[in-house]
Structure 1
Amino acid sequence: MPPLDPRLVRRSRGVRRLLGVSVVLGVGTAATVIAVAHVVSVVVARRFDGQPIAALPLVILVGLVVRAAVAWTHTTVAARAAAAVKADLRHEVVDDLLDPRRLGPRPSSAGVVTLLGPGLDAFDGYVGRFLPQIVLSALVPPAMLVAIGVTDVLSAVIIGVTLPMTVVFLVLVGLVTKDRVDRRWQALERVGRHFADVLDGLTVLKVFGRRQEDGLRQVGDRHRRESGRALRLAFLSSFVLDLFSTLAVALVAVSVGLRVVEGHLALGPGLFVLLLAPEAFAPIKRLGSLFHDSTEGAEATAGLLALLEHDRHNGTLAAPDLRRAEIVIDGVVVRHDGRAAPSLELSHHRVRPGEFVAVTGASGSGKSTLLALLMAFERPTAGYVLVDDVDLASIDPVAWREQIAWVPQVPGLVEGTIEDNVRLGDHAASGDDVRAALRDAGAGDLALTRPISESGTDVSAGERRRIAIARAILRVRSGAARLLLLDEPTAGLDAVREAAVLSTLRGLPVTVIVVAHRPETIGAADRELRLGRRLVDA
């Protein structure tokens, strides 16, 4: 992974502005260091010879103040840029996850929380300190080397040989450190995922008396051990880097001192070289110390950019009316990265308007992928999904989804009452319409004014599913939805409620495609589409 990801430079105007300002301030820093070193060497040499120094001390003071002002400006600009980049990336990630044209699977909530929380917090070290230091390391040492070379060629040769060796060592440290940093970042993600999973299932865990202290302690200890190993390596590498640069400066100091004593080099130029030699190594030493501080930010940057870089739906055509349109799945293959086998493979299938189709198959056969494909959340790797002979990939996804009612395995809820959640299907529906939808979804016993939370911890899994089915029914009856997609809608329902739901679904005047495992649901369908084998159905 490069120190500066070019994707971040292309995407973030704040990073580009920071790099531009860093170049200007880096040139100013180099010029100020050289000027102050020259004036100091002249003052000391003149005083040693007993010559007057006039206003030169004031010039030194002004130079030091200018250097401090440049450093303060650089730090302030970098800190503000880091805050701006973090805010921009957070907004961009949220907008991307809500973008209706986003294709591909959504990342896990725990992973997104880890990236937007601890991951972006590490941006202060990466963008605010490390990236500006890269610019200083690229500008200041060459400027010092040129200034020293003009004054003393031998010292420039010594620094010119040892400086690249220091850079090579810094690169080797980065390669060795990467493995430790990767392990620490993986441990941090594991802590976040485990904690999120425990919170999601906290009610069930408490009901069955399953304590999670040991599990949380284990993942926390793993993260602590990886952090300790990374810190030990950071301290050791910083010590070796300091030792190497100190030895290089010592070689210059011994060479200059001997030649000044022997009269082969004047005192003023010798002091000038001695003052600049440490400055040639200082930016690289600081870069090495900041490297370990920036690695988490670099890992988070790679994760965020990977999250943001994906295919997008570019369809613009109007959606055909699904009350009369046929859906044809023709030679579709869907492949996902990291999987050897296709997630979905279907030779040919036709869904006619008003049909009730049950999608069955073993776990992993592609049932959920098929529904995601029909909702335009996925795009076929090969083949086509045709709607009235129009490729679904060329249809505007927003207009297409306006005709769809969708009930997932774990439906989403909003803070409010049961009526508020059902009315999401049709905000203009009357109270009688909402009650009828709940009754037909087998949820007539639920009070409309009953409050529920967004987490859904105050409703059972069956109640949550019935509320979502009622929401979909209301959307269909309002005339907005003409295609109803359901994923295991009757799971967790008793026989009476299941029969009521299936009877309602059979009577809806829309196309219904349902992922099913229960024989009652499969039996209620007009026909079965079984995945996991090559199927041709005209």
Structure 2
Amino acid sequence: MKPLDPRLVRRSSTVRTHLVWSVLLGVLTALLVIGVSWCVAEVVARRFDGDEVLLFPIAIAAAFGLRAAIAWAHGVVSERAAIRVKAELRAEVVDDLLDPRRVGPRPESGRLVALLGPGMDAFDGYVGRFLPQLGLAAIVPAAVVASIAWVDLLSAVIIVVTLPLIGLFMWLVGVLTRDRVTRRWAAMERLARHFTDVLDGLVVLKVFGRRQEQGIREVGDRHRVETMRALRLAFLSSLVLELISTISVALVAVSVGLRVVDGGLGLRDAMFVLLLAPEAYLPVRRVGMMFHDSTEGATATAELLDLLDHDRHHGTVAPPTAPAPIAVRGARLTHPGRTAVSLAVDDLHVAPGEFVAVVGPSGGGKSTLLDVLLGFERLDDGEVTVGGTSLADLDVAAWRESVAWVPQTPHLVGGTLADNVALGQPGADRAEIAAATRDAGLDLDLDRVVREGTTDLSAGERRRLAVARALLRVRRRGAWLVLLDEPTAGLDAHHEAQVLEALRASGGTVLVVTHRPESVAAADRVVEVAS
């Protein structure tokens, strides 16, 4: 795991600005550290000689005040940068999920909850504290060593030799903690997914009397155990870094003290070196102390950037505005993380206005075929053409304007029944909405209030609502390709016949995934898909 992912620097202007400010404030901090050390050394040396030091205490106090002000400014800039980066990434993730040019499956809701919730909260430690400290660790030690070398080369050599030891032990600690952090992050994602799944199925679980307290408790305990293991390792590693830096400073102090006694080094220079030596190790030591605080934020950053790094559609060709032939040739698709082929279609041709039923065993790739035609998935091999033009070359946003889609699990939005039917058709009038619902066999009050994610409508009513939505899209937007995934599942014979009749009368090209014999019998042609 890299301390700073270059993808974050390229993607976020706030991070780039923040790093620039960190460098500038780090340079000022280094200059003040050196200046204060020189002033204190000068005061001690002059007092031993009996000279006056009236102005030096004032300068030292001013320098300490300025250093405190810079530290405050550094903290304010860092916290504001962390807030802005979180807001930018959250907005970018949401925009990415809604981007019509996005290719690939959407992430699981549990993973998104973990990333956009606790994962993003960890950015306060990562962006707000760890990254600024990285800037200080790169600037302050170099400036301190250069200043010490100017007055005492031997002490500078000791620091140069011992300073990398802290970096070496930090690397070893990082190797040891990487697995711990990964396991803790996996435990947190598992907890989020489990809790989300329980909430989604809470009604069913209550009906069947299945209590989930024990399951949530076990998943939570695993997260607690992994967290405590990571914290224990963090405390032990901090102890190691403190011990190494203390021994290193002691080596410098012993060398300086012996040479002062022998008369080989002046008091002023000795005090200057002794005051600056701890400052050479302090920023690097703090990086090690903040490393564990930043690992969760760094892990969340990598997860978010992986989520945002995916293929996009780049086609610009306008799609046909009227029914056109569709061909699928040599299509092969394997989903990430799976070894079995998800879709295998050698040769499929759909004529304009044709009603085609797609059948096959569960998991055979029927729904994946619809995802490919919608542009949600990209083939590993093969080609899909629409009117002789490759689907990859079409403007996918314009292409989806030509498609009416009925998913296997239609979703509701908060509002009235009419609002849900007219979803995506803000200009639809009430007569058009009523005609679409009537043709789909949905005999319900259009002013009936429904809520998102509830059981206000039965599964069959949801499917008929989605069919009405598709019919309205065909009639108002000129969509000529209708893709349906199990639209008549759970419907009685009367409503199923009504839905099939409305689809045949729509005048568009219809491709329906189904297991129902009645839907198969109503089709012009049956195509079997089996990966």
Q: Is the 1:425–1:474 Cα contact (8 Å) retained in structure 2?
A: no
Residues of 2 paired with 1:130 and 1:25: CA distance? 15
Q: Deviations over 1:468-490 (max 9, x none)?
A: 11211222233622111111111
Aligned CA RMSD, in angstroms, stands at: 1.6
Alignment-derived partner of residue 514 in structure 1? 512
Give the counterpart letter for 1:487 in structure 2. Answer: D
Letter aligned with residue 419 of structure 2: D
The one-letter amino acid paired with 1:372 is D
Q: Secondary structure at the match of 1:478?
A: helix
Task: Provide the C-alpha distance between the structure 2 equivalents of 1:163 and 1:424, rounded to a whole number of angstroms.
Answer: 63
Aligned to 1:458: 456
What CA distance in whole angstroms lies between the structure 2 residues aligned with 1:16 and 1:308?
A: 19
SS at structure 2 position matched to 1:529: strand
Q: Do the aligned residues in 2 keep the contact of 1:148 with 1:155 (CA within 8 Å)?
A: yes
Pick which of 360-369 and 214-223 moved more. 360-369
Partner of 1:536: none
Distance 1:67 1:165 in 2: 28
Q: How far apart are 1:180 and its partner, in Å?
A: 0.6
Q: Does the Cα contact within 8 Å between 1:191 and 1:223 map onto a contact in 2?
A: yes
| Structure 1 position 425, deviation (Å) | 6.2
Q: Distance in 1 between matches of 2:345 and 2:34?
A: 71
Match for residue 384 of structure 1?
383
Cross-structure match for 2:307: 307
Q: Output the CA distance in 2 between the equivalents of 1:267 and 1:455.
A: 76
Take 1:172 and 1:383, find their aligned partners in 2: how far apart are those partners? 47
User: How far apart, in 1, do the equivalents of 2:215 and 2:198 lie?
Assistant: 10
Letter of the structure 2 residue corresponding to residue 260 of structure 1:
V
* Residue identity matched to 2:301: T
Distance 1:299 1:525 in 2: 51
The 3 A distance-change label for structure 1 pair 18 and 427 is closer
How far off is 1:56 after superposition? 0.9
The 3-state SS of whatever aligns with 1:127 is: helix
1:413 pairs with 2:412: yes
2:288 matched residue in structure 1: 288
Q: CA deviation at 1:527?
A: 1.8
What is the CA–CA distance in structure 2 between the aligned matches of 1:460 and 1:209, rounded to whole Å? 22
Alignment partner, residue 529 of structure 2: 531
> 1: distance between equivalents of 2:190 and 2:280?
42
Provide the residue aligned with 1:435 in structure 2: 434
Aligned-pair CA distance for 1:282: 0.3
TM-score between the two structures when normalised by the length of structure 2: 0.97
Specify every segment of 5 or more residues in structure 1 that has no aligned partner in the other structure, as ranges.
534-538
Secondary structure class of the residue paired with 1:126? helix
1:423-502 equivalence runs, <5 A: 423-424=422-423, 426-444=425-443, 446-478=444-476, 480-502=478-500
- Structure 2: where are the runs of 5+ without partners? none
1:330 maps to what in 2? 329
> Paired residue for 1:277?
277
- Report the Cα distance in structure 2 between the residues aligned to 1:432 and 1:7, rounded to whole angstroms: 51
Would you say the 8 A contact 2:321–2:478 is kept in 1? no
d(CA) in 1 for partners of 2:17, 2:480: 50
Q: Deviations over 1:196-252 (max 9, x none)?
A: 111111222222222111111111111111111111110110011111111111111
Q: Counterparts of 2:128 and 2:354 in 1: how far apart (Å)? A: 59
Measured against aligned partners, the alpha-carbon deviations of 1:18-39 in whole angstroms (never above 9, x if no partner) come to: 1111111111111110111011
Provide the C-alpha distance between the structure 2 equivalents of 1:156 and 1:452, rounded to a whole number of angstroms.
Answer: 74
Superposed counterparts of 1:2-401, under 5 Å: 2-323=2-323, 325-401=324-400
After superposition, the Cα gap between the structure-2 partners of 1:439 and 1:172, relative to the gap in structure 1 and judged at 3 Å, is: same
CA distance in 1, matches of 2:184, 2:17: 31
SS at match of 2:484: strand
Residue 481 of structure 1 aligns to a residue in which SS?
coil
Distance in 2 (CA, whole Å) between partners of 1:495 and 1:221 is: 50
Contact 2:162 2:248 survives alignment (8 Å): yes
Q: Does the residue aligned with 1:458 lie in a helix, a strand or coil?
A: coil
Amino acid at match of 1:223: H
SS at match of 1:147: helix
SS in 1 for 2:29: helix
| Equivalent position amino acid for 1:231 in 2 | L
Distance apart, 1:261 and its partner CA: 2.2
Residues 428 and 130 of structure 1, relative CA distance in 2, 3 Å threshold:
closer
Deviations 1:287-337 (A, max 9, x none): 0111111111111111111111111111111111342x1001122222333
SS in 2 for 1:457: coil
CA contact (8 A) 1:456 1:464 kept: no
Shift of 1:434: 3.1
Q: Deviations 1:316-366 (Å, cap 9, x if unpaired)? A: 11111342x100112222233322233212121100011111112223322
> Match of 2:260, as an amino acid?
V
Q: Which amino acid aligns with 1:18?
A: H
Q: Secondary structure at the match of 2:378?
A: coil
Question: How far apart, CA to CA, are the structure 2 residues paired with 1:206 and 1:438?
Answer: 33
> SS in structure 2 opposite 1:100?
coil
Q: Give the CA deviation at 1:432.
A: 4.3
CA distance in 1: counterparts of 2:209 and 2:418, whole angstroms: 34
Superposed displacement of residue 157, structure 1: 1.9
Task: Kindly state the Cα deviation for residue 277 of structure 1 after the two structures are TM-superposed.
Answer: 0.9
- Per-residue CA deviation, residues 414-471 of structure 1 (Å, 9 max, x unaligned), is 1111122112264444444433433332322x22222110113322222211211121
Q: Which moved more, 1:334-343 or 1:132-141?
A: 334-343
Instruction: Measure, in 1, the Cα distance between the counterparts of 2:395 and 2:410.
Output: 25
For residue 196 of structure 1, give the secondary structure of its aligned residue in structure 2: helix
User: For 1:477-530, what per-residue CA distance to the aligned partner results, in whole angstroms no more than 9, with x for missing partners?
Assistant: 336221111111112222332232223223331111111122222222222221
Q: In 1, distance between residues paired with 2:476 and 2:12?
A: 44
- Which letter does structure 2 place at the counterpart of 1:478? R
Deviates more, 1:285-294 or 1:144-153: 144-153
Distance 1:322 1:224 in 2: 59
- Structure 2 counterpart of 1:334, one-letter code: L
Rounded Cα–Cα distance in structure 1 between residues aligned with 2:321 and 2:23:
58
AA aligned to 1:315 is G
SS of the equivalent of 1:154 reads: helix
SS at match of 1:299: helix
How many residue pairs match? The answer is 531
Letter in 2 for 1:520: E
Paired with 1:97 and 1:161, the residues of 2 have a C-alpha distance of 50
